[in-house]
Amino acid sequence: DTEVTQTPKHLVMGMTNKKSLKCEQHMGHRAMYWYKQKAKKPPELMFVYSYEKLSINESVPSRFSPECPNSSLLNLHLHALQPEDSALYLCASSLTSGRGYEQYFGPGTRLTVT
C-alpha cells in the first residue's frame, strides 16, 4: 500500500480565517513533506519533517505553520493567508529523507483564498 491521504479535498477560506490541512500515511515512512503547486508548474517544496522533527523550511512565510504530531500525521496550519496563496497543496512521504528514497504524493488539497 503506497497511499497518502489528504483532507479536505477542497478548501475555500477568507483572508482572516484559520484552517488546517491534514495528511496521513500508514506506510511506516519517517519523512513527510509539504509542497505547494501552482497551475502548470512543478511542485515547490515548503517543509520537510524527518523523524517528526522539522528538518527543512524553505523560507516559507509564517502564515503557514507545519506540525507533525506523530510519525503518521502531518498538519499544515493556515492563518491570514493572501489570495496569491491559492494553490494545490500536496503532502508526500518517503521511507526516510536520505538520498534516493522515492516520494509518494497524496491527492492534494485545492485551496482558494478569497
- Footprint on this chain of other proteins (rule: CB under 8 A): 2, 4, 6, 31, 33, 40-43, 45, 48, 50, 55-56, 88, 90, 92, 94, 97-108, 110
The smaller minimum CB distance to other proteins, of residues 80 and 105, is found at 105
Minimum distance, C-beta of residue 104 to other proteins, in the bound complex (Å): 6
Residues 6+ apart with CB under 8 A from 42: none
CA distances from 100 to 82, 95, 107 (A): 35, 10, 22
Minimum distance, C-beta of residue 78 to other proteins, in the bound complex (Å): 19
The smaller minimum CB distance to other proteins, of residues 75 and 80, is found at 75
The smaller minimum CB distance to other proteins, of residues 38 and 77, is found at 38
